[in-house]
Amino acid sequence: MRLRALLDTDALGLKLLGGEDELDRTVRGVMTTDLRDPSHYLAGGELVLTGLAWRRDENDSEPFVRILVQAGVTALAAGEAELGDVPEDLVVACARHRLPLFAVHESVAFATITEHVVRQVSGERAGDLAAVVDRHRRMMTSGPAGGGPDVVLDLLGTDLDLRAWVLSPTGRLIAGSKAAGPALPAETCARLAGEHLAATRTGRRGPHRVALGATTYSLFPVRSTDRSPQPARDVRETVLSDWLLAVEADAGDWPEERLDLLYGVTQLIAVERDRRDAARTVRRRLAQEVLELVQTGAAPAEIAARLRVAAPVLLPGLGAAPHWQVVVARVDWEGGEIEGGPVAQALLEEVLVDPAVAGPEHSDRIAVAHTGGEAIALVPLPAVSAEHDGTETGVLADTLLGSVRGPLTAGLDDDGRLTLGVSAAVHSAEGLRGALEEARHARRVAAARPGRVCAAGHQELASHVLLLPFVPDDVRRAFTARLLDPLRDYDRRHRAELIPTLEAFLDCDGSWTRCAARLHLHVNTLRYRVGRIEQLTSRDLSRLEDKLDFFLALRMS
């Protein structure tokens, strides 16, 4: 549809503030945002709706408009509900960049404009589909949040008998229709997310059809109703952050009208996604401010003052002095042309929003900033009582990734890598700098391990095993070969089980009695085997140094 048609629709109440010569531009989608930089979510051709929450002063309009123009946006519509008249500096900036600008009267809901555009760009539809969309428009305008994705999915279930769910890229279940029945099992969600990410990385356009057992699912990316070729953009910038719509049906033989409806539904869900993302803006800014203070060596009193501001936002009702934990994440792509910081930030927010990680009460109270190529999360923990033993659990490295490891591995494919590090809990501003360095060091330990997705926690930094990943591979191979190859060769020829005997002997701290009992051997037989080990390796297992060498060799083998 063209901009002129929007302006001529009285029900939308749009007032043209600039760009009269550009009204023949084509609108291919719509997006609502109050982000200062929404380019991450723009594909080109959109009508952008904004409530102007991103504007702090007159200097903010120029960069915002420039970002929209560079992303190929068709026009901008600014709401009058918050600031009254649209600021003159925004009018001037749009005129300078030849971006058409509309004012949206406070009586008109953005959802009304969104639904109108979605219906128009989707083309003619059958009567039942038009009725579904019209009912959804009325529900969306009944409240500021529009009821969330559940409302849209309920309409798909009741009117079209489609069971549908909205999933995150990690497989977290975000919403599901009542008609869909019980929630999808976590394993199924993870499988669908992984299949979606793998298909996205190949460049195939949705919907992607996946068969799990006897059930076929169609997976729609939650981005835009427009299916025309998009401007050249690296898929790795968004693959780990985009939601998906999973429908229990085979869309391969659907008519165009029904496909258009589903793409329209993804656009409406995208509005909710952007709203939730915008809600994180304050927490991101707080995390960025705290991080800058910590990294620049600010006085603890200054950091503590900023934390007192952050605490009520992140943990309302829990007092002004919670404890804190730091999580550092990094996404690295081969070639290095993709900026990993924003990707890691979106992904870390998604991982930490899982109630199984941060707890059901605090799952969406995480503040994440990014600097350079890494993302840093400031995780608040409730302050403990004086009787507490001080061993706060918080976020643990071994549960941080959990079931999301599979989907993320599919999204990273063969050219990406995710590594995370987790600090211990700290009880004051003075401890934050140490916690940050601890989390970064733990991430480096994770990075030294094999695999596309790795995490390490602060507990691992106190062990001698920490040194092993940093030993060069050729040195490790030579060390283990010199100590263990003679034993392996002997075991292969004589079936003597010297390697299992050595492992058990070290695990029993050199106790002859306990080791013999564990192996169900006579002590003399055990002594014979240990003697053979010492003879073949020229080592003495009564010496601490030789015991440690064997222990490290076994761990590195």
pTM of the model: 0.58
**Section 94-100 average pLDDT:** 94
Instruction: Check residues 203 and 515 and name the one with the higher pLDDT.
Output: 515
- 361 in a structural domain: yes
Q: Which of 465, 488, 521 is the last residue of a domain?
A: 465
Instruction: Check residues 488 and 43 and name the one with the higher pLDDT.
Output: 488
The predicted structure's pLDDT at residue 329: 92
The predicted structure's pLDDT at residue 136: 52
The predicted structure's pLDDT at residue 517: 92
Instruction: Check residues 26 and 364 and name the one with the higher pLDDT.
Output: 26
Q: Could you tell me which of 339, 20, 326, 158 has the C-alpha nearest to residue 7?
A: 20
Instruction: Judge if 409 and 440 occupy the same domain.
Output: yes
Q: Which of 432, 465, 498 is the last residue of a domain?
A: 465
Strands of the sheet containing 75-79, edge to edge, are: 14-18, 101-104, 75-79, 46-50, 29-32
Q: Is residue 182 scored above 90 in pLDDT?
A: no
Which of 24-38, 223-237, 525-539 is predicted with the least confidence, judged by mean pLDDT? 223-237
pLDDT single digits (tens) 240-294? 888 999 999 998 888 877 788 788 788 878 877 877 777 778 778 888 888 888 8
CA dihedral 401, 406, 412, 415 (to 10 degrees): 110
Instruction: Judge if 425 and 496 occupy the same domain.
Output: no
Instruction: Judge if 325 and 251 occupy the same domain.
Output: no
Burial class (CB in 10 A: 0-12, 13-18, 19+), 46: buried
Q: Based on the structure, what is the number of domains in the chain?
A: 4
Instruction: Judge if 336 and 457 occupy the same domain.
Output: yes
- 455 in a structural domain: yes
556 close to 476: Cβ distance less than 8 angstroms:
yes
pLDDT single digits (tens) 445-470? 888 888 888 888 887 765 555 556 65
Instruction: Check residues 407 and 227 and name the one with the higher pLDDT.
Output: 407
What letter would DSSP give residue 320?
S
Instruction: Judge if 445 and 489 occupy the same domain.
Output: no
Instruction: Judge if 311 and 267 occupy the same domain.
Output: no
CATH number, domain of 409, equals 3.30.70
- 443 in a structural domain: yes
Query: Measured between alpha carbons, how far is 529 from 498 in angstroms, rounded to an integer?
Result: 6
Q: Could you tell me which of 333, 384, 393, 326 has the C-alpha nearest to residue 359?
A: 393
The predicted structure's pLDDT at residue 50: 92
Query: Measured between alpha carbons, how far is 249 from 211 in angstroms, rounded to an integer?
Result: 10
The predicted structure's pLDDT at residue 458: 80
**Section 524-542 average pLDDT:** 92
38 close to 32: Cβ distance less than 8 angstroms:
no
Q: Is residue 144 scored above 50 in pLDDT?
A: no
Instruction: Judge if 95 and 234 occupy the same domain.
Output: no
Instruction: Check residues 444 and 389 and name the one with the higher pLDDT.
Output: 444
Q: Which of 408, 435, 465 is the last residue of a domain?
A: 465
- 72 in a structural domain: yes
376 close to 368: Cβ distance less than 8 angstroms:
yes
Residue 151, Cβ neighbours under 10 Å: how many?
A: 20
**Section 59-75 average pLDDT:** 93
Query: Measured between alpha carbons, how far is 121 from 226 in angstroms, rounded to an integer?
Result: 8
CATH number, domain of 93, equals 3.40.1390.20
pLDDT single digits (tens) 292-347? 888 888 888 888 888 777 666 665 554 545 678 889 999 988 876 777 788 888 88
Q: What is the 3-state secondary structure (H, E, C) of 387-445?
A: CCCCCCCCCCHHHHCHHHHHHHHHHHCCCEEEEEEECCCECCHHHHHHHHHHHHHHHHH
- 209 in a structural domain: yes
- 121 in a structural domain: no
107 close to 141: Cβ distance less than 8 angstroms:
no
Among 21-30, 131-140, 441-450, 531-540, name the most confident range: 531-540
**Section 82-90 average pLDDT:** 87
The predicted structure's pLDDT at residue 469: 61
pLDDT single digits (tens) 412-429? 888 888 999 988 888 877
Q: Is residue 443 scored above 60 in pLDDT?
A: yes
Instruction: Judge if 521 and 498 occupy the same domain.
Output: yes
CATH number, domain of 511, equals 1.10.10.2840
Q: Is residue 527 scored above 60 in pLDDT?
A: yes
- 127 in a structural domain: no
Instruction: Check residues 476 and 538 and name the one with the higher pLDDT.
Output: 538
CATH number, domain of 256, equals 3.30.450.30
pLDDT category of residue 530 using cuts at 50, 70 and 90: very high
Write out the residue range of the structural domain in which residue 305 sits.
Answer: 281-465
The predicted structure's pLDDT at residue 62: 95
Structure tokens at 2: 């063209």
Q: Is residue 390 scored above 70 in pLDDT?
A: no
Q: Is residue 147 scored above 80 in pLDDT?
A: no
The predicted structure's pLDDT at residue 233: 63
Instruction: Judge if 254 and 342 occupy the same domain.
Output: no
Instruction: Judge if 446 and 343 occupy the same domain.
Output: yes
The predicted structure's pLDDT at residue 462: 56
Q: What is the CA radius of gyration of the chain?
A: 29
- 136 in a structural domain: no
The predicted structure's pLDDT at residue 140: 47
The predicted structure's pLDDT at residue 101: 94
The predicted structure's pLDDT at residue 322: 65
pLDDT category of residue 387 using cuts at 50, 70 and 90: very low
The predicted structure's pLDDT at residue 217: 94
Instruction: Judge if 94 and 13 occupy the same domain.
Output: yes
Give percent above pLDDT 70 in the chain: 82
**Section 153-174 average pLDDT:** 84
What letter would DSSP give residue 26?
B
Instruction: Judge if 100 and 186 occupy the same domain.
Output: no
Residue 300, Cβ neighbours under 10 Å: how many?
A: 16
Instruction: Check residues 359 and 407 and name the one with the higher pLDDT.
Output: 407
Q: What is the mean pLDDT of the chain?
A: 80
